[in-house]
């Protein structure tokens, strides 16, 4: 399917019914989303060249600002001074951030002590002379140095003067003193960012600052549960009422205001959940906006990640349509200049305002999620980024947005949020004589803003973005601020550096040349030069999922028949229906291979194996890479089969196809590198020693139904790449997608006598293959029981000793300690346990939570689970699809019923829309008394929960290891030592720290288990391909041919 897919108009009502129909009037916005950064920047520079704010004028104004601000250095933010001491370019700066992020929410002292030890031991905290330092900097340094000294007694010496003074007290008091010192330091740091712990305290504090206004932000990140969303709504409503008590009539921008986050008001605020956003979120936001209008305080809709931009605009448009802005200028929205689409969004909103005859307000910011945006685009395999990759380009876009706002003063009241003196200078020059306001973050940017007010007074008071909440609520906000301002490229950071002069800082971005190209790899470039990454799709980009749906609909075929293919020719026979597990509808037919077909395939493969091996790695690699290209070209067909035959959601189907492409290219690259030429080995002069790899012979690939394309092609392509002939047997539930894959490989140039397709049941086709004397190896993914059967079958033959590469199941656990962030645990546990209806070998089966925080953690996981939509995967809003067949569904349902009868069910998902004829089990949480109570793998959407006591981590790991399974294990902790200990002691193949434990990336996270979970080596890793190969050593005496010429010449 070509990149023109984004132009396709959706025709499949079924899959589109839960998604937004793209609005044609936003074409300009969408055109900028993935446009070349260099092209956009060229246009920005051209537009800015006509600005009334010249480079010379802005530079002069900026230099004046910076000189005055530096002269008034004592007024500069305390946080900036702290960041200047502990920069994020140092280990200590990162440690400081980690402590701030975790320490304040640890409930038990033992874990708090462990966190202190982990983060401080071995670091070199600069002590310096604290006499002239502000209290927060001094105390932070003192607390951290104190901890370092306590834990590294041997480092104490006469050179560390402050430590000598405290040495006896440290030895006497120990870790509790350190903990309290560090807590005090972190709390003081937090107070620099938080206006007040309650809205009442924050308003009173803000009222004392007569020269400034505030826009209050109720701290808290995205809601994970419905209860979270309700709590945030109530918090916003109460804040609006309290702020409004002191508001004056008339101009709302003369009053304090409030900023609200839409993701805090709904746990599923995302593009594919548009129906719920429309029906549930928008009414809540309208209610808050009406309340703000009633008391005349400005309400600003805060900005979030780029994939929420259009839902963001949708909600704001709904507020306009609801009449909130009619006759009132207090309704506002935040726009991020690091997003490429920002200028087009401003134009769009201006047109909406003019059409309605209203005046809106807008806060222009640079953006706070840059690293997240870059990683997301890379992970999705996108060809570009939605944000600029260079800070310079963000600055240019900010200036262009300001230029647009200067021309929109009839319909938009602008506010400019920045701590960059040169940005402020540009705005002041551009808006001379016009109405606007400046904004800054509480606790930051005072110096530059004070200087501007003194030198070039803006028409209105500076507005402070003022967080409100407890220290526990501060965490994520604090981390973002530290990252923004601790980065060496940050203006705030450079401004605080005494070695950077005012002249060095006073540079207009227009006078700086752009780099020829970005050094940040796009998603497609991520693994170059070794191979090209698989192409992905951003399903949060309006128009993309709809276009995919249309392409899938066009690629669907009603005449699919998965017949055996031997020697490149399809065999005939009795056809049986293949059914959609979600609906029971027939999606194709399958003809099972009989004994004669199996025998013919083995014989043909045996004859072809030697020539295929002798063809060489480069020859084979070229054909596999051609297959990868064909798979991307025809991905709509395979996406549709993954949905219709395997019951996958579109999200999972895209990931499935991408993984298959990655396997093809990864193993092709390895074949070219390792199987093309022999490796020279050392030896005496006059002798040539070489080691070469070649195929083993005839390999059988037996793949599962849960990854019917990715694992199928992974096994087959590895065996082919190593030089083997292959007999491919797909799972009996999913023969159609495997058949299409084999046809594609044959089209790519794999010889028909080298690759054979043999669908059928395990007890017939599988048994015949694994017992055949001519089979040299089997690659198998499935249950542990079947792997044992295959092992016994291979061992009982009279043929050569065969190779078994098996990847089986696992009772996969996630360990959560009391330093873990509940929101992250809920996100990762729910994804790991319930994505793909829990039908992944890697899926989370057992959540082990430290008992100190168990109630909160489990409640949040249950709440997040409750938000999942269960039903037909062909509907875009569906999160959890069907169980693969009625037998599997019945087994899981019986297990859940038994747990329910025993009173062990904690919660069950209830958002279901189940088609008749499908096989479904809604997600469920089941409580266990102990981790050892989980006796076997339940292959479905069932998550067990058990608790463990702090201090008993080793016993927990031992109990998990005792199950005998060893596939994946997750750990959520902010203590590096805990993560390292778990990783070292856990007898598993894959360990995942502070993330989900599914979706291993080929080449980045080689996948495979040990013990009852598999034999290894890991699929998608550097050692896998060699397991399919034989080694041959060749030693040649070259003295008869004249000896070593180089030696004789010497």
- DSSP states of 132-169: GS-HHHHHHHHHHHHHHHHH-GGG--TT-HHHHHHHHH
The fold of 23-75+192-201+211-479 is TIM Barrel (3.20.20)
Strand duo 870-871 + 257-260: pairing: unpaired
Determine the pLDDT at residue 491: 64
Contact at 8 Å (CB) between 582 and 743?
Answer: no
Determine the pLDDT at residue 558: 87
- DSSP conformation class of 51: -
Burial track 925-942 (b if 16+ CB lie within 10 A, e otherwise):
bbbbeebeebeebbbbbb
Structure-token pair, residue 831 = 């994804």
What are the backbone angles phi and psi of residue 985, rounded to the nearest 5°? Answer: -95, -20
Report the alpha-carbon distance of residue 330 to residue 290 in Å, rounded. 11
Name the stretches of the chain with pLDDT < 50: 1-22, 74-79, 82-83, 86-94, 122-175, 178, 486, 488
Question: What size, in residues, is the chain?
Answer: 1050
> How far is residue 537 CA from its own chain's centroid?
14
Structure-token pair, residue 775 = 């089979």
Strand duo 360-365 + 331-336: pairing: parallel
Report the alpha-carbon distance of residue 401 to residue 51 in Å, rounded. 12
813-1013: CATH, from 3.40.50.1980, 3.40.50.1100, 3.30.1280.10, 3.40.309.10: 3.40.309.10
Rounded CA Rg of the chain: 32
Tally Cβ neighbours within 10 Å of residue 249.
Answer: 9
Strand duo 1029-1037 + 846-850: pairing: unpaired
Which three-class secondary structure state does DSSP give residue 380? coil
Structure-token pair, residue 467 = 């967080």
Structure-token pair, residue 634 = 């025809």
The H or E element that residue 864 is part of is: helix 854-866
- Please choose, from the candidates 626, 617, 611, the residue with its C-alpha nearest in 3D space to the C-alpha of residue 664: 626
Report the alpha-carbon distance of residue 587 to residue 573 in Å, rounded. 18
- The pTM of the full predicted model, rounded to 2 decimals, is 0.90
Q: Where in the chain is the domain with CATH 3.40.605.10?
A: 556-808+1027-1031
Report the alpha-carbon distance of residue 630 to residue 618 in Å, rounded. 18
Strand duo 1029-1037 + 687-695: pairing: antiparallel
Determine the pLDDT at residue 117: 64
Tally Cβ neighbours within 10 Å of residue 516.
Answer: 6
- In sequence order, what are the beta bridge partners of 972? 816
- DSSP conformation class of 461: P
CA angle 618, 620, 626 (to 5 degrees): 100
Strand duo 360-365 + 412-417: pairing: parallel
CA angle 312, 315, 319 (to 5 degrees): 135
Give me the active site residues, please: 807, 841
Q: Where in the chain is the domain with CATH 3.20.20.220?
A: 23-75+192-201+211-479
Q: Where in the chain is the domain with CATH 3.40.309.10?
A: 813-1013
Determine the pLDDT at residue 23: 56
C-alpha distances in angstroms, 410 versus 28, 399, 747, 1008? 22, 19, 62, 62
CA angle 496, 497, 502 (to 5 degrees): 85
- DSSP conformation class of 941: S
Q: Which CATH class is domain 556-808+1027-1031?
A: alpha beta
Angle, helices 175-191 vs 91-102, to 10°: value is: 90
- Please choose, from the candidates 710, 752, 753, the residue with its C-alpha nearest in 3D space to the C-alpha of residue 730: 710
What are the backbone angles phi and psi of residue 417, rounded to the nearest 5°? Answer: -105, 115
Report the alpha-carbon distance of residue 136 to residue 186 in Å, rounded. 9
Contact at 8 Å (CB) between 1005 and 988?
Answer: no
Report the alpha-carbon distance of residue 526 to residue 545 in Å, rounded. 23
């Amino acid at each position: 399917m070509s990149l023109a897919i984004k132009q396709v108009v959706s025709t499949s009502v079924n899959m589109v019914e839960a998604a937004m129909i793209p609005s044609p009037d936003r074409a300009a916005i969408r055109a900028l989303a993935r446009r070349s950064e260099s092209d956009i920047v060229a246009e920005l520079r051209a537009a800015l060249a006509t600005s009334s704010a010249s480079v010379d004028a802005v530079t002069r104004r900026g230099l004046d600002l910076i000189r005055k601000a530096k002269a008034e250095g004592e007024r500069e933010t305390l946080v900036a001074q702290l960041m200047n001491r502990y920069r994020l370019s140092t280990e200590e700066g990162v440690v400081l951030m980690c402590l701030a992020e975790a320490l304040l929410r640890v409930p038990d002292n033992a874990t708090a002590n462990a966190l202190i030890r982990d983060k401080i031991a071995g670091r070199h905290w600069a002590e310096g002379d604290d006499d002239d330092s502000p209290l927060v900097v001094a105390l932070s340094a003192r607390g951290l140095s104190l901890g370092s000294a306590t834990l590294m007694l041997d480092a104490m010496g006469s050179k560390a003067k402050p430590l000598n003074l405290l040495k006896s007290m440290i030895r006497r008091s120990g870790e509790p003193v350190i903990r309290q010192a560090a807590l005090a330091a972190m709390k003081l740091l937090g107070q620099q960012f938080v206006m007040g712990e309650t809205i009442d305290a924050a308003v009173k504090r803000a009222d004392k600052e007569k020269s400034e206004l505030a826009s209050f932000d109720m701290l808290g990140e995205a809601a994970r549960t419905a209860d979270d969303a309700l709590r945030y709504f109530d918090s916003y409503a109460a804040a609006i009422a309290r702020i409004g008590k002191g508001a004056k009539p008339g101009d709302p921008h003369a009053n304090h205001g409030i900023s609200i986050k839409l993701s805090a008001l709904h746990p599923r605020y995302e593009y594919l959940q548009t129906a719920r956003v429309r029906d549930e979120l928008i009414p809540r936001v309208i209610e808050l906006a009406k309340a703000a209008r009633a008391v005349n305080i400005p309400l600003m809709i805060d900005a979030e990640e780029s994939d929420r931009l259009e839902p963001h605009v949708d909600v704001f448009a709904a507020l306009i349509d609801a009449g909130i802005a009619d006759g009132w200028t207090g309704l506002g929205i935040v726009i991020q200049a690091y997003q490429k689409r920002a200028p087009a969004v401003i134009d769009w909103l201006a047109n909406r305002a003019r059409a309605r005859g209203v005046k809106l307000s807008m806060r222009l910011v640079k953006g706070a999620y840059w690293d997240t945006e870059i990683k997301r685009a890379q992970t999705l395999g996108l060809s570009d980024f939605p944000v600029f990759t260079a800070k310079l380009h963000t600055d240019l876009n900010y200036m262009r947005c300001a230029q647009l706002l200067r021309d929109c003063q009839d319909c938009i009241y602008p506010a400019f949020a920045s701590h960059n003196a040169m940005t402020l200078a540009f705005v002041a020059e551009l808006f001379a004589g016009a109405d606007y306001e400046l904004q800054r973050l509480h606790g930051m940017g005072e110096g530059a803003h004070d200087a501007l007010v003194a030198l070039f007074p803006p028409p209105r008071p500076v507005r402070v973005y003022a967080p409100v909440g407890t220290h526990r609520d501060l965490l994520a906000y604090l981390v973002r601020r530290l990252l923004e301002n601790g980065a060496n490229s940050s203006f705030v950071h450079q401004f605080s550096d005494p070695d950077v002069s005012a002249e060095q800082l006073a540079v207009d971005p227009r006078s700086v040349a752009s780099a020829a190209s970005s050094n940040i790899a796009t998603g497609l470039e991520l693994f170059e030069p070794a191979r090209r990454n698989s192409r992905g799709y951003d399903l949060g980009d309006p128009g993309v999922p709809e276009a995919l749906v249309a392409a899938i609909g066009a690629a669907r075929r009603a005449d699919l028949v998965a017949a055996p293919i031997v020697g490149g020719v399809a065999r005939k026979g009795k056809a049986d229906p293949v059914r959609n597990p979600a609906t029971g509808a027939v999606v194709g037919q399958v003809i099972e291979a009989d004994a004669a077909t199996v025998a013919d395939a083995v014989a043909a493969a045996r004859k072809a194996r030697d020539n295929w091996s002798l063809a060489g790695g480069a020859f084979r690699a070229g054909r596999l890479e051609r297959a990868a290209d064909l798979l991307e070209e025809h991905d709509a067909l395979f996406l549709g089969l993954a949905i219709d035959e395997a019951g996958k959601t579109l999200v999972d189907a895209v990931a499935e196809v991408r993984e298959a492409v990655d396997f093809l290219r990864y193993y092709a690259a390895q074949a070219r590198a390792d199987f093309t030429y022999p490796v020279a080995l050392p030896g005496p002069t006059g002798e040539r020693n070489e080691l070469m790899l070649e195929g083993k012979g005839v390999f059988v690939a037996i793949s599962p139904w849960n990854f019917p394309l990715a694992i199928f092609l992974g096994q087959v392509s590895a065996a082919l790449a190593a030089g083997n002939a292959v007999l491919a047997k797909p799972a009996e539930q999913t023969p159609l997608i495997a058949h299409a894959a084999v046809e594609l490989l044959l089209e790519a140039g794999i010889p028909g006598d080298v690759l054979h397709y043999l669908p059928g049941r395990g007890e017939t086709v599988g048994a015949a293959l694994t017992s055949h004397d001519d089979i040299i190896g089997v690659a198998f993914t499935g249950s542990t029981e079947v792997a044992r059967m295959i092992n016994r079958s291979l061992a009982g033959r009279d043929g050569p000793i065969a190779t078994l590469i098996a990847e089986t199941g696992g009772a996969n656990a996630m360990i959560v300690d009391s330093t873990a962030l509940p929101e992250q645990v809920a996100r990762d546990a729910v994804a790991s346990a319930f994505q793909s209806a829990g039908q992944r070998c890697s899926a989370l089966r057992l959540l082990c939570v430290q008992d100190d925080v168990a109630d909160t953690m489990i409640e949040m996981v249950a709440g997040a689970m409750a938000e999942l939509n269960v039903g037909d995967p062909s509907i875009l809003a569906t999160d959890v699809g069907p169980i693969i067949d009625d037998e599997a569904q019945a087994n899981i349902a019986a297990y859940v019923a038994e747990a329910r009868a025993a009173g062990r069910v904690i919660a069950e998902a209830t958002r279901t829309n189940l088609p008749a004829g499908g096989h479904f089990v809604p997600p469920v949480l089941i409580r266990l008394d102990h981790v050892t109570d989980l006796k076997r793998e339940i292959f479905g959407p069932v998550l067990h929960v058990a608790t463990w006591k702090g201090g008993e981590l080793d016993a927990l790991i031992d109990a998990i290891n005792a199950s005998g399974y060893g596939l994946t294990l997750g750990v959520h902790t902010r203590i590096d030592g805990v993560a390292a200990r778990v990783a070292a002691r856990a007898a598993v193949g894959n360990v995942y720290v502070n993330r989900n434990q599914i979706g291993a990336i080929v080449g980045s996270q080689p996948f495979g288990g040990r013990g009852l979970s598999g034999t290894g080596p890991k699929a998608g890793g550097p050692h896998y391909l060699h397991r399919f190969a034989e080694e041959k050593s060749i030693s040649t005496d070259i003295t008869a041919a004249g000896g070593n010429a180089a030696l004789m010449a010497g």
